[in-house]
Amino acid sequence: MLLATYDLWGFVSENRHELWHGFVNTIKVSAIAIVGSYAIGITLGAARAHRIPVVSQFTAVYVEVIRCTPILVQIFLLFYALPQVGILLSQFTTAWVAVTIWGGAFHSENFRAGFLAVSHRHREAAFALGFRPLAAFFNVELPIGGRIALPSSINTAISVVKNTSLMYVIGYMELTTTAINISNLTLETTEAITLLGIVYLTLVWSLSALIRLLERRLALPEGT
Amino acid sequence: MPDWANPVARYVLEEGLPGMLHVAVISLIGATVIGVTLGSLLTIHFRPSRMLIRLYIEIFRGLPIIVTVFLVFYGLPPISPALQFSPLNATGIALVLWGSAQVAEATRGAVGSIPYEQHEAASALGFGWIGRHRYVILPQALRRLLPPLVSLLVNIIQNTTLAAVLGGLELLSAASRQNERVAAVPPIGTGQIHALEIFGGLAVLFFVISFPLTRLAAYLERRLV
């Protein structure tokens, strides 16, 4: 009975404004979180690779706490528990902060591994050429270590995009929340899930194709 | 512990923990069995079967798990009323679909790392494809598979919280219900908000369960590979 009335195009065209708005919110949160988590990951990953006191230990704890607790619990803590100490975050703020913190932890592991894989001789060569430590980092370590970390870091970025769908639990109107809410009213659940599947798989598969492209383009020259 | 906290902890541990374990056990067993089977089949050089399995892996690794959960819980019943599952079972099935894709990928790598001579030796002894994998290849591949399986268990435990989205009673929804009850006016609750302690405590509980498992995975990685 229900399958006989299946009409994906009808569902999309009747609700195109809401769905488009939801899609834009998904992209907005993903974009902010990807940029933010890369910034956190490169900074803290470098701090760990160089064993900078305090920051390095803080990062180790941060990474373990994020990896060993469910992201849904982290979202609940931000959204439902922080108001108790007077910090009220909007749904949008909770959404991007939660995935940024989560992605930052995974990225700092990616980049720690990447920077550790940079041979010590490259740093010494940079110093011999008169680079100061920060200049050596940006001109030598980041280009080499960053490329090594790139494939695993894009996998983390893909997970960041997928995790924005969890904002359903706080009712933030990204794509998943929007589609499921509409289907709760119109009973077009099958259509809503099909649409979510198509959109997320398109996003995820394009990003994985990007990994393969970048891996070829940014491959380190022989012998590095 | 303050007066309000005792019943909260009891409810979370007595009602929530069994729910979490229920989902975790279904997911771990299902994902391992299906994942190892699909991963072994993926090593057969037969185009149609490989393409089908690849498609399965790419779909369930690509979908956000919450969408797979919705797919199982809301998307299957219209096809057949027999496919109507409880929130906990639906989450378990969704995690089997997602987890088996991860395990299949890991199994393919592990089986591929067994030298080809092992296959030939087993064939020479008269084993067919099934016997060769069952008695010779998989027992060796399993050693390499153990660390990723422990990591999978950690991820499964974290993802059981998705059942809360469907209203299934596991750790997160148990804590959430208690959070609302405690905040209610007396005599039902205390009239005070204790969300930070309740969800903070829940995070500690998950950490205490997961952290040793991540150490175990790292240890096995060093020992077995």
Has residue A177 got a pLDDT over 80? yes
Q: What is the pLDDT of residue B43?
A: 84
Inter-chain CB proximity A84 and B193 less than 8 Å: yes
Contact A8, A191 (CB under 8 A): yes
| Bigger pLDDT: B48 vs A215 | B48
Q: 3-state class of A75 per DSSP?
A: helix
What tokens were used for A205? Answer: 């598969």
- Enter the ipTM: 0.91
pLDDT for A35-49, tens place per residue?
999 999 999 999 999
Helical axes B47-62 vs B17-41, angle rounded to 10° = 150
Has residue A2 got a pLDDT over 60? no
Has residue A224 got a pLDDT over 70? no
Q: Does B158 reach chain A within 8 Å, measured CB to CB?
A: yes
Q: What is the pLDDT of residue A4?
A: 57
Averaged pLDDT, B164-189: 90
Has residue B2 got a pLDDT over 90? no
- When the pLDDT of each residue in chain A is averaged and rounded to a whole number, the result is 91
Which ranges constitute the DSSP H helices of chain A? Answer: 8-14, 16-49, 55-67, 71-76, 91-116, 120-128, 133-136, 142-163, 175-186, 189-217
For B97, other C-beta atoms within 10 Å of its C-beta total 22
Q: What is the pLDDT of residue A139?
A: 92
Percent of chain A scored above 90 by pLDDT?
75
Q: Does B202 reach chain A within 8 Å, measured CB to CB?
A: yes
Q: Does A72 reach chain B within 8 Å, measured CB to CB?
A: yes
Q: What is the pLDDT of residue B6?
A: 87
For residue A144, give every residue at least 6 positions away whose Cβ sits within 8 Å of its Cβ, in sequence order, or none: A118, A122, A220, A224
Q: Does B59 reach chain A within 8 Å, measured CB to CB?
A: yes
Distance CA B70, CA A196 (A): 10
Contact A102, A167 (CB under 8 A): no
- A window 173-202, beta carbon within 8 A of B: 176, 180, 183, 189-190, 193, 196-197, 200-201
Has residue A221 got a pLDDT over 90? no
Distance CA A35, CA A3 (A): 42
Inter-chain CB proximity B64 and A67 less than 8 Å: no
Q: What is the pLDDT of residue A1?
A: 46
Averaged pLDDT, A70-99: 94
One-letter-per-residue 3-state SS of B88-131: HHHHHHHHHHHHHHHHHHHHHHHHHCCCHHHHHHHHHCCCCHHH
Q: Which of the residues B69, B70, B74 would you substitute to probe the A interface, choosing the one with the greatest number of A C-beta atoms within 10 Å? A: B70
Which ranges constitute the DSSP H helices of A50-77? Answer: 55-67, 71-76
Contact B35, B103 (CB under 8 A): yes
- A window 115-154, beta carbon within 8 A of B: none
- When the pLDDT of each residue in chain B is averaged and rounded to a whole number, the result is 91
Averaged pLDDT, A178-195: 91
Q: What is the pLDDT of residue A181?
A: 93
Single-letter residue type at B132: R
Contact B61, B170 (CB under 8 A): no
Inter-chain CB proximity A200 and B154 less than 8 Å: no
Contacts of A70 in chain B (CB under 8 A): 158-159, 161, 172, 206
Residues B111, A106, A220, B147, Cα dihedral to 10°: -20
Inter-chain CB proximity A84 and B196 less than 8 Å: yes
Q: 3-state class of A131 per DSSP?
A: coil
Confidence of residue B225 (pLDDT cuts 50, 70, 90): low
Inter-chain CB proximity A72 and B172 less than 8 Å: yes
Confidence of residue A201 (pLDDT cuts 50, 70, 90): very high
Supply the DSSP string of B140-205, one letter for each residue.
HHHHHHHHHHHHHHHHHHHHGGGGGGGT--SHHHHHHHHHHHHHSPTTTS-SS--HHHHHHHHHHH
Percent of chain B scored above 90 by pLDDT?
64
What tokens were used for A114? Answer: 């990447």
Q: Does B194 reach chain A within 8 Å, measured CB to CB?
A: yes
Has residue A207 got a pLDDT over 50? yes
Half-sphere exposure of B85 (CA within 13 A, CB side): 22
Q: What is the pLDDT of residue A222?
A: 59
pLDDT for B196-210, tens place per residue?
999 999 999 999 999
Q: Count residue pairs from A and B with Cβ separation < 8 A.
A: 111
Distance CA A16, CA A8 (A): 12
Averaged pLDDT, B76-94: 92
